[in-house]
Amino acid sequence: MAYEIKRFPYDGTIDADGHVLEPPDLWENYLPEKYQARALRIGIDDEGFEYLEVDGRPSHRSRKGSLGLLGAMGEEDQRPSPERRYADSMPFGACDLQERLALLDQENLEQSLLYPTLGLLWEWELTDPDLSLAYCVAYNRWIADFCRDSSGRLVPIAHLTLLDPEGSAAELERAVKDGCKGAWVNPFHHHRIPHGADVNDVLYAKCQELDVPIAVHPTFTPHDKPAEGIFDLPQQGVLYASMMWLRAIVQQAFISYISMGTLDRFPRLRLGILEAGSGWVGAMLDRLDAVDDALRRGRVKLSATEYFQRQCFVSGDPDETIAPYTIDKVGAHCFMWATDYPHPDHPHTWVDDLTRYAEALSPETRAMVLGDNVRRIYRL
């Protein structure tokens, strides 16, 4: 079954994490001349399969036809083939401004915050801070241009790298002036530096100064196999475990902001957790509070729950069934939702799923989760 467009029954709804499929020549067009030879681009191997080229080298993971499936939400047959090409397989609204606005109208969405697709794939195998920042700047310039004539309905979010916190702080200031309403970083660090470490404070200080949120979004990571060194998973097990592993590392990055005092140092920083579900938040906060109380750490001023309710937000999936019943207990002002359109690892039934999700909420909570929280947090 292909993606089926349906109309969501509630007005004023905002997608907190939609995606675009970037044009294959984006980085060739937007990088400075000195980086042109090292641009992110798509190549063809000897078997006719597409692959992503990162810094002049074929990617180890984005190959063998996988790029052609990046917009395959709702498709039953997601087997790669040489015939299925990235640029020829973009679904409606994935890389065309007017189509995306038409899709919002058809699905009754007021706005959508936009994140990349190819931009989620390269950081795990690029350790050069200068080129990493250059890739980010190129994407940020393009996404601001892409959204510019949408009358504010498509909201650009800047991609930043923790390999260069100072450069990312400067880029954030430039990107915000260009129209971006927030920023995101990946959930790992090549040098194993936790997100909450004070070496990254220059970036968080800039977020606080500019009054824009920053979020952690899943990407490919340097870890090919989850639980490496613990289990030897068969190939079919790796696929499923990897999807859960992505959630786990986002959660670990989030914990570092609390345990390392980042939210103490920057009490007005707004911190988000994206595309990792939301039903787990209450249980994790309970455990963090219990451990903190039992060990009497005393390193931070507030409990994990208090930090979360004061400064954090989380984007959930429409197909979650437990989350709607925990939102009010955890803090309804901290939750939002997302389509993940058009990525294939989420079902195409989000309208039906989100309708069930919304109907489990009180009218006041429903209004916050469906759109009001996004408007407040991103200053829309």
Q: What is the pLDDT of residues 227-258, one digit of tens each?
A: 666 666 666 655 555 666 678 889 999 999 99
Top-confidence residue, 42 or 82: 42
Q: In what order do the strands lie in the sheet with 183-185?
A: 158-159, 183-185, 214-216, 271-273, 312-316, 335-337
Domain boundaries, the chain: 14-22+91-377
Share of the chain above pLDDT 70, in %: 92
Cα end-to-end span (Å), the chain? 35
Residues listed for the chain: 380
Judge whether residue 308 has pLDDT over 70. Answer: yes
Query: In the CATH scheme, what architecture does the domain 14-22+91-377 have?
Result: Alpha-Beta Barrel (3.20)
- Best CA proximity match to 213, nearest among 163, 167, 138, 263: 263
Question: For all residues of the chain together, what is the average pLDDT?
Answer: 92
| 184 vs 203: CA distance, rounded Å | 11
Tens digits of residue pLDDT in 55-109: 999 998 888 888 988 888 888 777 888 889 999 999 999 999 999 999 999 999 9
The pLDDT of residue 78 is 79
Whether 272 and 315 have beta carbons less than 8 Å apart is answered as yes
